[in-house]
Amino acid sequence: MAILFSISLQPQAQLTESKQQQLDNLLKHDCGSCHGINRNGGLGPSLLVSDMEKYSLESLAAVILNGLPGTAMPPWSDLISAEEARYLANRLKSTQD
Ligand code: HEC
């Protein structure tokens, strides 16, 4: 009798759809209040996909979590998890809407 080892293809813990929507909203409205609703800049610099090339995903997530001390860019670690910061970093690096 063959014993079949099944590897469960469990995807990495994923943020739920509603959590993603919440984060998209945060990006548009909270980040947007300083960086522009279309991320084309305001009090803070523009955060267009092309502006984000200088950051790796992880370093961008770290900027979001820790803020930029000594500037108006606040830390978000009280409000979002590291995984959520990576989601935002990925959005910033890959999509413009
Ligand atoms: C209160 C205003 C404010 C809010 C809200 C804010 N930022 Fe910023 N952010 C800034 C300012 C100002 C800078 C530029 C700091 C500097 O280098 O002088 C900045 C810089 C950045 C940078 C670095 C940009 C670069 O080109 O190096 C990133 C990335 C960034 N913010 C992402 C975010 C994200 C994502 C959010 C929302 C979760 C957010 N910011 C919310 C003010 C803000």
Which run of H or E residues covers position 88? Answer: helix 82-94
Task: Tell me which residue has its CA closest to atom 7 in ligand 1.
Answer: 73
Q: Is ligand 1 within 6 A of the CB of residue 80?
A: no
Minimum-distance ligand 1 atom for the alpha carbon of 52: 26
The domain tally of the chain equals 1
87 or 7: whose pLDDT is higher? Answer: 87
- Residue 27 CA to residue 90 CA, distance in Å, equals 12
47-58: per-residue pLDDT in tens?
999 999 999 999
Q: Is ligand 1 within 6 A of the CB of residue 89?
A: no
Q: Is 11 a member of any domain?
A: no
Q: Is 74 a member of any domain?
A: yes
Domain membership of residue 77 as a residue range: 17-94
Domain with residue 78: its CATH number is 1.10.760.10
- Burial class of residue 47 in the structure, from the number of CB atoms within 10 Å of its CB (0-12 exposed, 13-18 middle, 19+ buried): buried
Q: What is the pLDDT of residue 9?
A: 47
Q: Is 30 a member of any domain?
A: yes
Rg (CA), the chain: 17
Overall average pLDDT of the 28-41 stretch: 96
Check pLDDT > 80 for residue 32.
yes
